[in-house]
């Protein structure tokens, strides 16, 4: 049993869907393959925009939705010249559900509405891909992920009910996969009351890992627009290297610190079942890529992860009490309350410094709460670089012309919060 995951970039247009079909056809597999697909291209962003417009009533809701429909129907038009193909109706019917929702006043909770609207991206992308695969002669069945991925009702960040999910997958999906190839959605699940949930942005990798784990798959392959995991993002670095083999441990560290190649939640389920994760390029599908496994491979080269738009705050107890013994749990609970995810931290006797992604609203609310008991100083507009398997040379290389505000080192990882020397304080 194998699981493949294709992200939005791989199916951003008709050519992408044809390419996906080619990859499947060339493997010449009749069954025991589950294909997990995201929404096409940037559709999820567009649907987020639609949700916002609907909730605020400010923008032209119908125009945005028309654009989304148009985008899909032009791809369908290219792929299926025969207009009597059932995919036309099937996709139109899926959109109707959102039309109905948009007709009504938005009086449900915003996060609930978000999940009902945004999930449509994955529903229609998989309908199109499954129909196209069938056209090309593959024996494919479209499967609704919501019948399998069972979650709680934390909309937008739903938590998986593993026991129920595993049970349903083994009982009902396994028999389907014995007969044919199945196509399903990433990113979405459903509550015990059958309401649609989503697993958090970029969650399709995680979905694929859940399916792979519950199916006891022999491997999970994530098809990307890059040749594999690289030691740095080419956006920031001229010379990047592909890492041919990576341990689960390094992969989860890199993903956690912000390497965008794999969603951080993906590794745990497959590590727990010792399922190899292959990262491959959909542009050159026979090339080697990266194999992520339990083997104890140290990274062959230092790896760099850059994050911009960081905020750094330093917290000092007003009464001069020790930060660790007397205040840390209090401080952490405020971070948790405001859903601020920490990227680095460092403490001294009476101060605690923390960096995180800068979200102005969250920062303001957090500082307001902290200021009741602490003196708070903060900086914004910072960069964070994480170097896995660092040495002095790599540190020197990334800190040229930078002022360092915070530097934290463990045995293998060095994190530096910094800003350009030219930035005025
Ligand atoms: N379509 C969703 C998103 O763009 C999920 C995914 O692509 O992984 O966030
Ligand atoms: Mg995506």
pLDDT at 119: 98
Q: Indicate the pTM of the whole model.
A: 0.91
Rounded to the nearest angstrom, the distance between the alpha carbon of 254 and the centre of ligand 2 is 19
| pLDDT tens figures, 159-217 | 999 999 999 999 999 999 999 999 999 999 999 999 999 999 999 999 999 999 999 99
* Mean pLDDT, residues 238-265 taken together: 88
Q: Is the CB of 115 under 6 A from ligand 1?
A: no
Rounded to the nearest angstrom, the distance between the alpha carbon of 37 and the centre of ligand 2 is 9
Q: Is the CB of 202 under 6 A from ligand 1?
A: yes
pLDDT at residue 81 greater than cutoff 60: yes
Helix then strand then coil, in percent of the chain rounded to 5, is: 40, 25, 35
The C-alpha atoms of residue 204 and residue 80 are separated, in whole angstroms, by: 26
Rounded to the nearest angstrom, the distance between the alpha carbon of 189 and the centre of ligand 2 is 16
Mean of the per-residue pLDDT values of the chain: 94
The residue whose CA has the least distance to atom 5 of ligand 1 is: 202
pLDDT at 143: 98
**Atom number, ligand 1, closest to the C-alpha of residue 206:** 8
Q: Is the CB of 41 under 6 A from ligand 1?
A: no
Ligand nearest to the CA of 198: 1
pLDDT at residue 271 greater than cutoff 80: yes
Domains 2-217 and 303-420 share a fold: no
The C-alpha atoms of residue 298 and residue 249 are separated, in whole angstroms, by: 9
pLDDT at 406: 95
* Mean pLDDT, residues 127-133 taken together: 98
pLDDT at residue 259 greater than cutoff 70: yes
SS (H, E, C) 126-153: HHHHHHHHHHCCCCEEECCHHHCCEECC
pLDDT band of 261, cuts 50, 70, 90? confident
* Mean pLDDT, residues 24-53 taken together: 96
| pLDDT tens figures, 84-122 | 999 999 999 999 999 999 999 998 999 999 999 999 999
Cα–Cα distances in angstroms (integers) from residue 179 to residues 128, 169, 344, in the given order = 21, 15, 49
Q: Which residue has the higher pLDDT, 129 or 253?
A: 129
pLDDT at 208: 98
CA pseudo-torsion sign 254, 259, 265, 271: negative
Backbone angles phi, psi at 69, to 5 degrees: -65, -45
pLDDT at residue 347 greater than cutoff 70: yes
CATH assignment of 2-217?
3.40.1160.10
pLDDT at 264: 87
The residue whose CA has the least distance to atom 8 of ligand 1 is: 202
pLDDT at 412: 92
> Could you give the angle at the alpha carbon of 180 between the alpha carbons of 90 and 150, nearest 5°?
65
Percent of the chain at pLDDT exceeding 90: 86
pLDDT at 235: 82
The residue whose CA has the least distance to atom 6 of ligand 1 is: 202
Domain boundaries, the chain: 2-217, 303-420
The residue whose CA has the least distance to atom 3 of ligand 1 is: 202
| pLDDT tens figures, 144-157 | 999 999 999 999 99
Ligand nearest to the CA of 201: 1
| pLDDT tens figures, 61-70 | 999 999 999 9
Q: Which CATH class is domain 303-420?
A: alpha beta
| pLDDT tens figures, 275-313 | 999 999 999 999 999 999 999 878 888 999 999 999 999
Cα–Cα distances in angstroms (integers) from residue 3 to residues 17, 22, 186, 201, 375, in the given order = 17, 16, 12, 20, 51
Q: Which helix (H) or strand (E) holds 5?
A: strand 2-6
| Angle formed by the axes of helices 120-135 and 43-56, nearest 10° | 140
Rounded to the nearest angstrom, the distance between the alpha carbon of 8 and the centre of ligand 2 is 5
Rounded to the nearest angstrom, the distance between the alpha carbon of 88 and the centre of ligand 2 is 24
Cα 380 to the center of its chain, rounded Å: 25
- 64's torsion region: left (phi>0), alpha (psi -120 to 50) or beta? alpha
pLDDT at 66: 97
């Amino acid at each position: 049993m194998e699981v493949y995951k294709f992200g939005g970039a791989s199916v951003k247009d008709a050519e992408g869907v044809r390419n996906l079909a080619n990859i499947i056809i060339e493997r010449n597999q009749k069954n025991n393959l589950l294909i997990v697909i995201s929404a096409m291209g940037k559709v999820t962003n567009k649907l987020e925009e639609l949700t916002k417009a609907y909730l605020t009533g400010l923008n032209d809701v119908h125009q945005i939705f028309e654009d989304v429909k148009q985008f899909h129907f032009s791809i369908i038009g290219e792929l299926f010249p025969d207009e009597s193909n059932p995919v036309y109706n099937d996709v139109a019917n899926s959109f109707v559900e959102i039309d109905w929702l948009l007709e009504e006043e938005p009086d449900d909770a915003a996060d609930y509405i978000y999940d009902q609207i945004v999930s449509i991206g994955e529903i229609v992308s998989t309908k199109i891909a499954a129909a196209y695969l069938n056209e090309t002669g593959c024996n494919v069945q479209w499967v609704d992920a919501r019948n399998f991925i069972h979650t709680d009702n934390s909309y937008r960040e739903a938590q998986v009910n593993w026991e129920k999910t595993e049970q349903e997958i083994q009982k009902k999906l396994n028999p389907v996969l014995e007969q044919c190839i199945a196509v399903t959605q990433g990113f979405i699940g459903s509550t015990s009351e059958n309401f649609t949930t989503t697993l958090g942005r970029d969650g399709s990798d995680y979905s694929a890992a859940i399916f792979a784990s519950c199916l006891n798959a022999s491997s999970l392959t994530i098809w990307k627009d890059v040749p594999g995991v690289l030691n740095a993002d080419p956006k920031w670095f001229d010379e990047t290297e592909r890492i041919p083999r990576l341990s689960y441990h390094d992969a989860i560290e890199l993903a956690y610190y912000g390497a965008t190649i794999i969603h951080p939640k993906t590794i745990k389920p497959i590590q727990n079942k010792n399922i190899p994760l292959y990262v491959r390029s959909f542009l050159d599908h026979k090339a080697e890529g990266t194999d992520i496994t339990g083997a104890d491979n140290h990274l062959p080269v230092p790896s760099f992860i850059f994050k911009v738009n960081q905020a750094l705050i330093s917290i000092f107890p007003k009464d001069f009490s020790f930060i660790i013994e007397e205040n840390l749990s209090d401080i952490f609970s405020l971070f948790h309350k405001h859903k601020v995810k920490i990227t680095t931290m460092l403490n001294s006797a009476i101060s605690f410094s923390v960096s995180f992604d800068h979200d102005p609203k969250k920062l303001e609310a957090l500082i307001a709460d902290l200021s009741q008991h602490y003196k708070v100083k903060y900086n914004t507009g910072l960069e964070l670089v994480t170097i896995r398997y660092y040495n002095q040379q790599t540190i020197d290389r990334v800190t040229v012309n930078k002022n360092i505000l915070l530097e934290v080192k463990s045995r293998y990882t060095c994190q530096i919060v910094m800003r350009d020397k030219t930035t005025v304080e």
